[in-house]
Amino acid sequence: MKRRDFVKILGLASGGLLFGCNVSADKVVVNTLENGISFVPNLFIQLQKDGKLTIVVARSEMGQGIRTSMASAIAEDLEADWKYVTVQQATGDSKFGNQNTDGSRSIRTLLKPMRKMGAMARTILEQAAAKKWNIPVSNCKAENHFVKNSTTGEEIFFGDLVEEAKTIAIPSDENIILKDKKEFKYIGKKVIRGIDMEDFLHGKANYGLDARLPNMKFASIARSPVTFGSVKSYDTSDTNEIEGVEQVVQLDRLIPPAGQFFGMLGGVAVIANNTWSAFQGKNNLNIEWESGLNETYNSEKFKEKLIGRIQNKAKVVPPFKGNVDKAFDNADKVIEATYTMPHLVHAPMEVPNALAWVRDGKCDVWAPVQDPQTVRAEIAHFFGFAIEDITINVMMLGGAFGRKSKSDFVVEAVALSQKIKAPVQVVWTREDDIQHSFYHAQNAQYLKGSLDKKGKVTGWLHRVAFPQLLLALSLCQIILLVLS
Amino acid sequence: MQTLTINGQDYQVDAPESMPLLWAIRDLIGLTGTKFGCGVAQCGACSIMIDGTVVRSCSTMVSQAIGKNITTIEGTSASLEALRQAWRNNSVPQCGYCQSGQLISAAELLDTNNNPTDEDIDNAMSGNICRCGTYVRIKKAIKEAVELKKQV
């Protein structure tokens, strides 16, 4: 990160000071910056005159503590007092850089840029104090939300430096110095509490399922019991008997373009004025399904097929080293085993859900999503909104595990809101989640290992057979790997 | 119209006859701290207390709570406050979604048992699932809360 990667934005309505920097770990964007093309900040912190420090967090919180760790990394090098720190959840927007919270990469890619961001703001505040006191900056040291004059012991509050800081230029790279690890107060320490702790303890944390709008509707969707099946016919007479049910809407399956997005399964949606009535209405639907190509799929048979495939030699993938057959022949002990994994659902405690409100050519979403920019792009793709007319409000995620990287449940809510012209929250039942989610692939693995007399591993053979994640089951390709 | 008394406050609701308390509390009254997890009393996320006894609100009818005192995570009690302090001290929650139910179940335990054994804790908490796996910290925090409550 170079000096031009920081920006100071002045003249906020609040009278505060907004710092921005570009922390993108994306190689393309870094190259763009190197080439001197326009710089766009994607990490923001705001300091107000009352000392309040707001850190915009663009990653999704699902229990990994990212809202706390991002805030504490910045607060660390900013020398902020934790009691003034708040976080604001970013909406899904490419201006925040990569927001995809999947793959355990946020801290690995963002820790250093975040610390540097904090150090940059701290340096500006120290320079502002030096200017105010008319003393060398070397005599000014930030500590716990104050800058201290090391000669006189006089202190000035961060909030009282906002105006002066506006006149300070972005420090040059060599003047932005990260703290020594030995001086850490927050990183790796147990002194601060999670930024959402009090909300968790009082039922105030807002998960996707807690999103509320005046006059919103609640929807429950019956989806084909066979994956990718479709509705042949349906009868709503028993559903209409349920108190609270308002209407029944059929949804067609939306098929995503190859290798992109997720679409939605389609089915029959029951719209009600509360979740319970929607669930009951769905249970009372009488639907005749067209099962389609997957009707004959049998997971037990498929498992046998996978096990069959790993009996045989297959394409060897790197790293390939040595002669495994020879190792087995010369071994003191050989151990072999076959393992299988079933189709596995992520089953986060909070079921998939989304609230959408389509009106006046705009689409607002409140949902627990791991990848809000893909959700936004997918809505633009399927429903034709301009990207800037789509707002993805990222709610707290009650667990995610990759399930909430997929946008299908949001697409359902948008499709329904567009049809019924009202804000509507799609709520999956637990049964829906178990039956219709994106399973981890069923797979079979064969392992054979050899040991010498001392118990040292001399050979390792590992064959894996599993289908590709995003292919329809009827189109499964078997990938065989042999590592030896 | 029915009257539900939640955390000492009366709420008028017009709930369909078959509606479980969970949905009356969340959708009709708007107290969203009580969570939906499974709908069949298997996960504990929807735990509330009725007259001091823990029930799964997803499987308890509104009619069963009329004229009684409901306690949800938005409420307070000596046990809940001791537990909250222990939860803070031990950084118990991860995603936090199950914690409303965990705290309510633990509160009933502390209300009724001044010196719970490990087995008492396991029995009291066995109906509350945590998908993040915070069980070890929950158990430690409950033990700490028992001591904190004695000091008050």
The pLDDT of residue A475 is 32
The pLDDT of residue A26 is 37
Q: How far is A192 from chain B (nearest CA, A)?
A: 9
Low-confidence residues in chain A, pLDDT < 50:
11-13, 25-39, 471-484
What is the third-level CATH fold of B2-71? Answer: Ubiquitin-like (UB roll) (3.10.20)
Structure token pair of residue B117: 């054994």
Per-residue burial over B37-48, b if 16 or more Cβ lie within 10 Å, else e, is bbbebebbbbbb
Q: A256 and chain B: CB distance < 8 Å anywhere?
A: no
Q: Nearest residue on chain A to B83, judged by CA atoms? A: A201
Which residue from B23, B32, B74 is facing A276, i.e. has the nearest CB? B23
The pLDDT of residue A440 is 83
Phi and psi (nearest 5°) for A69? -70, -40
The pLDDT of residue A472 is 39
- DSSP helix/strand/coil, A33: helix
Residue type at position A337: A
Q: Nearest residue on chain A to B74, judged by CA atoms? A: A202
A-interface mutation test, from B97, B100, B135, B137, most A Cβ less than 10 A away: B97
Closest CA to B127 of B145, B104, B110, B111: B104
Long-range interactions of A196-199: CB distance < 8 A, separation 24+ = A196/A61, A196/A67, A196/A68, A196/A396, A196/B93, A196/B96, A197/B87, A197/B88, A197/B91, A197/B93, A199/B96
Structure token pair of residue B118: 């490990």
Q: Rounded to whole angstroms, how far apart are CA atoms B73 and B33?
A: 6
Q: B77 and chain A: CB distance < 8 Å anywhere?
A: no
Largest alpha-carbon pair distance within chain A?
83
Q: A238 and chain B: CB distance < 8 Å anywhere?
A: no
User: What are chain A's domains?
Assistant: 3-200 (3.30.365.10), 209-292+347-436 (3.30.365.10), 301-341+440-483 (no CATH)
The pLDDT of residue A2 is 56
The pLDDT of residue A24 is 52
Q: Mean pLDDT, to the nearest integer, of B5-20?
A: 95
Phi and psi (nearest 5°) for A375? -60, -45
Q: Nearest residue on chain A to B36, judged by CA atoms? A: A350
The pLDDT of residue A95 is 81
Provide the H-helix boundaries in A344-404. 372-383
**Contact pairs from chain A to chain B, CB under 8 Å:** 120
Pick the CATH number of B78-151 from 1.10.150.120, 1.20.950.20, 3.40.50.300, 3.40.190.290: 1.10.150.120
- DSSP helix/strand/coil, A449: strand
Q: Nearest residue on chain A to B89, judged by CA atoms? A: A193
pLDDT in tens, B64-119: 999 999 999 999 999 999 999 999 999 999 999 999 999 999 999 999 999 999 99
Half-sphere exposure of A360 (CA within 13 A, CB side): 2
Q: B33 and chain A: CB distance < 8 Å anywhere?
A: yes
Cβ contacts of B39 on chain A, cutoff 8 Å: 279, 429-430
Provide the H-helix boundaries in A211-267. 237-240
Q: B127 and chain A: CB distance < 8 Å anywhere?
A: no
A276 neighbors B19 (Cβ within 8 angstroms): yes
Per-residue burial over A354-391, b if 16 or more Cβ lie within 10 Å, else e, is bbbbbeeeebbbbbbbbbbbbbbbbbbbbbebeeeebb
Burial of A62 from C-beta contacts in 10 A (0-12 / 13-18 / 19+): buried
Cβ neighbours of A335 (radius 10 Å): 10
Burial of B86 from C-beta contacts in 10 A (0-12 / 13-18 / 19+): buried
- Residues with Cβ within 8 Å of A135's Cβ and at least 6 positions away in sequence, in order, are A149, A151
Q: Would you list the domain boundaries of chain B?
A: 2-71, 78-151
Starting at the earlier edge strand, list the strands of the sheet with A457-466.
Answer: A333-341, A443-451, A457-466, A479-483
The pLDDT of residue A358 is 98
Write down the pTM of the prediction.
0.90
Q: Rounded to whole angstroms, how far apart are CA atoms A131 and A146?
A: 15
Structure token pair of residue B85: 């302090």
Mean residue pLDDT of chain B comes to 97
The pLDDT of residue A68 is 96
The pLDDT of residue A45 is 85
Cβ contacts of A243 on chain B, cutoff 8 Å: 16-17
Q: How far is B73 from chain A (nearest CA, A)?
A: 6
A143 bridge partner residues = A146
Q: Nearest residue on chain B to A395, judged by CA atoms? A: B95
